[in-house]
Amino acid sequence: MLAAVIVFWSLALQGRFWYLVLVLFAVAMANASMAYLLGSIPNDPRNSREFIILLMLPQILFAGFYVDTQSLPVWVQWASYAMPSFYAFRLALADEFAVCMQFEGMDQDVIRCIESGSNALSSAFQGGGGLESLYSDASSYVLSEVGVFEGQEDSIEYLRFADSSFSPTTFFHDKCVVDGSLSVWHKSSGPDKCELMFVTTEQFNINPNYATGKAKEMPVFNSIQGLIVEFEPDDDLQGITVKQNSLYFPQALFSSMIEEYQNSYDHAETICEILEENCPSSWKKDGFVDRADCIATMGTLPVTEKNDRGEFVIDSNSTACRVVHATLARENDKHCPHISFIPETDADGYVVCSESNNFSATDRFDDQDLAIFQLAATENGMNSTRQLRSVYDDPSFGSLSDRAKCSEGLVGGVSGSLRNLELPKNYFCAQYLQSQGATGEYDMLYWGVLIGLYVVIRGISLCVMSSKANTFKKIKDIGVVGP
């Protein structure tokens, strides 16, 4: 009681005084039970002092007060659940900082959106770990100029292709986010849907096998990238299920960095190599005499084409479309029909790299989104219309020494990069409570475990002492009746 009085008023705590007294009393009784148990182990109670460290050290390590239990190795975190102070600490936290869970003036759906997005997407920005858990068979990945990839397998497959580290045959290499360029924009929230838009400056090296002119010596370029992630938060806010990813690159990336400065015959060498080595059935249907014949034929195709809306795309009858699917065909032969010179129906009944679907970025990105891309381009030293910076835009830019520092991930989570939404001051406090399981949601469970630990440990210690008492009594009786 005295300890509660001193702690409560000296630290100006804002929780309930009587509740703190109750928590301290409960943890004291549970720890006393553990002390009884340890004290009952040695035959001589005076030797129980040696066991004090066994009582104190685990409480310090596993309660979460001095050391965050989540920072401990997974294989020892289970020990936390056997410590009375683990539950007492969270009960006290939940009461003291209950105000942190009250978001006045902000929709709870927005909080759920940001919380779950921050927890789940941070890993994706740090190397793409655990991607399979983010996608389902109902997920899709859309890049208007390339096409729509549906289902978990295809979405993850294209996501890895777009990451540029997938294969040496991709258009660009060494792709990364320029450090400090990330901005996050909240678009919408609902009980079962959330939309966040990530805008970054991406840094690439042009694949030297495809580059022409100055790009062979000055391969580095920067481009704006936008990504809308539409997802459903999991109940525990630690994960999400992606419904749709919509990727944006400026038209100049397709009209300039691919159409103008890459070559059909260079593309054809890659396409024909993979077609011959990985797709024997499609190679046979095309009837090529040899690889040279294939290259000569494929090289007659345009690098890209304009769709009916006047935009450069790579989902039509072009070498760029076939490079995408040839790269994927290295690992998955379902893409073999897509790189055939003669149109071929794939296993799903689609004919790919034949006619454009006539999609446009404006089908998915509204005027406000496009204005944000222009703003981001200006802020990052690019023309607001082209949203690119390369040797073709700036003759002094493009050498390997011009590569900027790459971002190490989603530093600070989604909340740390939000631009169009001011979070309440207590949001970060609430994040901490969520991470500790101290939101008040589990208080009844914690009380039950705390009381249960007291009863069980006290019962065990009484049994041990009773057993020893009986043993001593028998020894004494034997001593009495003996000679």
The pLDDT value given to residue 418:
75
63 pLDDT band (50/70/90 cuts)? confident
Strand 172-177 with 193-206, pairing: antiparallel
More confident residue, 247 or 52: 247
The pLDDT value given to residue 483:
45
Percent of the chain with pLDDT over 90: 32
In a domain? residue 449: yes
Tokens describing residue 186: 């909240």
Residues 245 and 370 both lie in one domain: yes
- The three-state secondary structure class of 200 is strand
Tell whether the model's pLDDT for residue 293 goes beyond 90.
yes
Q: What is the dihedral of CA 441, 446, 449, 450, to 10 degrees?
A: -160
Residues 68 and 163 both lie in one domain: no
Tell whether the model's pLDDT for residue 103 goes beyond 70.
no
**DSSP 8-state secondary structure symbol assigned to residue 144:** T
Under a CB-based contact definition with an 8 Å cutoff, are residues 352 and 178 in contact?
Answer: no
Closest Cα to residue 359, out of 291, 287, 402, 309?
Answer: 309
The pLDDT value given to residue 266:
92
Residues 369 and 241 both lie in one domain: yes
- Cα 209 from Cα 283, distance rounded (Å): 23
The pLDDT value given to residue 482:
44
Residues 132 and 226 both lie in one domain: yes
Return the minimum-mean-pLDDT range out of 116-130, 134-148, 256-270, 293-307.
Answer: 116-130
Residues 271 and 244 both lie in one domain: no
Residues 150 and 245 both lie in one domain: yes
Under a CB-based contact definition with an 8 Å cutoff, are residues 367 and 228 in contact?
Answer: no
In a domain? residue 238: yes
Strand 172-177 with 312-313, pairing: unpaired
Residues 244 and 377 both lie in one domain: yes
- Cα 344 from Cα 104, distance rounded (Å): 58
What are the pLDDT digits (tens) for 369-379? Answer: 999 999 999 99
In a domain? residue 21: yes
Closest Cα to residue 139, out of 237, 233, 230, 248?
Answer: 230
More confident residue, 441 or 386: 386
80 pLDDT band (50/70/90 cuts)? confident
Task: For residue 130, give its domain range.
Answer: 108-249+359-423
Number of separate domains in the chain: 3
Taking residues 41-66, report their average pLDDT.
Answer: 73
Taking residues 46-60, report their average pLDDT.
Answer: 73
- Highest mean predicted confidence (pLDDT) among 27-31, 210-214, 219-223: 219-223
In a domain? residue 258: no
More confident residue, 124 or 142: 142
The pLDDT value given to residue 310:
92
